[in-house]
Amino acid sequence: MAAIVIAVGAAALLPPPLHLAAVIIALFATVALVVTLVPAQSPDGGVPIVESAGHMVPVAAQAVAGATNAGTIGAANETTASLAPVAEPDLTGVLAALPVGVMVIGDDGKIRAFNAAAGELFGVSAERARNRALIEIVRNFELDRRVTATLRTGVEETGELPYSAAHERYLQVTTRVLGGVEGRRSALVIIADQTRMRELEKLRRDFVSNVSHELRTPLTAVKLMVETLQSGVEQPASDEFLGSIAQETERMIALVEDLLDLARLESGKLELRLSTVDIGELCQHAAQAQARRAQTLGVALECSAPEAPMKISADRDKVYQVVVNLLDNALRHTPSGGRVDLAVEPGDGTVDIVVSDTGGGIPSSALPHIFERFYVVDPARARGPSGTGLGLSIVKHIIEAHGGTVEAKSELGTGATFRCRLVAAG
């Protein structure tokens, strides 16, 4: 994004009492926004130069002074010439275009300026907000209190503020004092919506906590069994412990591999090795690989595919992983005596891989979340050790990396159907 430079010296051109230029300067000083109307590049021509607010004032002053002394823009030196077109910027327009909410509150508590971003945050137009008391427009006691405190005492503060209207949001609110005419002060309020940032932080925290939990549980079991073995357990108990240790280790390896796969998929670093794949043959192969497990669980596993080859352009290993993950998920949630069907269904220029089961189904409240990392609907309903909660997330990423879609349909008590749609090879 090209940086934009504004000749802040143009403040002199603006009439009081709003002092929009002063608002902009204070804004820059607070949020360190970069400002110029001329694209600025770094010496290597790559990353745009970011100038701090502190640097901008002398540059802008120089620009204005240069233009004034020379009398004409054309006579200005090289630096001022490049800045000359911004000698009279439309600061109201700049304020309106800023992506953060900006308000100016007069010493009578009335809103004097209110930009479009603030309007979006609070659901009020600038026209409606202007000259109204802040509390009438933004019905938040804490925000009103902070602004009132800044107006009365000159105390400036920055802090987060929960704001709930239709949805709970987290706002970063900064209040600053603006000097006005005859010593009457105004308050500049800058508001940045931090809700998305908060959500990402929560995702990160949950992720770390989930991974720690998933790794710690088998590790604790392994540690205890090793300690027991060290204390001198004899066969056949020792064999049982060694079997359990091997099983737990496999679980940890599977988790780490899933995590690495997911990390590669999410960072877009996974390179698909595309080849022409017969999806029918791939599904038959995957079903055969899971046949023994299905038999052990007492679940009938059937695979149906058209006899004619169904060709898609895909990374064979990755699509195989998709089918295995879906079958694993279905087998995990289908009781003994139930069935799991894997089908390949041709469509109009597409091929669907459909996995359906006769398990307990997924509650409608859980359906939107099942492709999220570590989301497990109800571990108590799964058969045997619960999954890592990553399998379906990996499915979604792989299918989407192939330009396809995946959807799940289910009703409680009637099983679930997962449908992956991929583009057929031309």
- Could you tell me what percentage of the chain is helix, strand and coil, using 3-state DSSP and rounding each to the nearest 5? 50, 20, 30
Q: Are 346 and 405 in contact (CB under 8 A)?
A: no
Cβ distance to other proteins smaller for residue 184 or 216:
184
Cβ distance to other proteins smaller for residue 170 or 241:
170
Helix (H, G, I), strand (E, B) or coil at 367: helix
Chain contacts with other proteins (rule: CB under 8 A): 109, 133, 135-136, 139-141, 144, 164-165, 168, 365
CB of 424 to other proteins, least distance (A): 40
Q: Are 305 and 343 in contact (CB under 8 A)?
A: yes
Q: Which residues pair with 103 in a beta bridge?
A: 114, 189
CB of 411 to other proteins, least distance (A): 12
Closest to 175 measured CA to CA, from 134, 143, 139: 143
CB of 209 to other proteins, least distance (A): 17
Helix (H, G, I), strand (E, B) or coil at 139: coil
CB of 182 to other proteins, least distance (A): 19
User: Per-residue DSSP letters for 96-134?
Assistant: HH-SSEEEEE-TTSBEEEE-HHHHHHHT--HHHHTTSBH
Cβ distance to other proteins smaller for residue 135 or 425:
135
Cβ distance to other proteins smaller for residue 140 or 358:
140
CB of 177 to other proteins, least distance (A): 21
Please count the other Cβ atoms lying within 10 Å of the Cβ belonging to residue 118.
Answer: 24
Pairing verdict, β 339-346 and 300-304? parallel
CB of 161 to other proteins, least distance (A): 11
CA distance linking residue 126 with residue 103, whole number of Å: 10
CB of 412 to other proteins, least distance (A): 9
Q: Are 107 and 151 in contact (CB under 8 A)?
A: yes
Cβ distance to other proteins smaller for residue 5 or 147:
147
Cβ distance to other proteins smaller for residue 147 or 188:
147
Q: Which residues contact 104 (CB under 8 A, 6 or more apart)?
A: 18, 23, 111, 112, 113, 114, 178, 186, 187, 188, 189
Which residue reads 């949950």 in tokens? 206
Edge-first strand listing for the sheet containing 111-114: 111-114, 101-105, 186-193, 168-178, 157-164
Cβ distance to other proteins smaller for residue 97 or 165:
165
Q: Tell me the CA distances in angstroms from 241 to 175, 226, 234, one per residue in order.
A: 63, 8, 10
Cβ distance to other proteins smaller for residue 90 or 108:
108
Cβ distance to other proteins smaller for residue 161 or 423:
161
Cβ distance to other proteins smaller for residue 144 or 328:
144
CB of 193 to other proteins, least distance (A): 18
**Amino acid found at 220:** T
Cβ distance to other proteins smaller for residue 107 or 136:
136
Pairing verdict, β 350-357 and 311-315? unpaired
CB of 122 to other proteins, least distance (A): 12
Q: Which residues pair with 351 in a beta bridge?
A: 346, 422
CA dihedral of residues 359, 360, 361, 365 (deg, nearest 10): -160
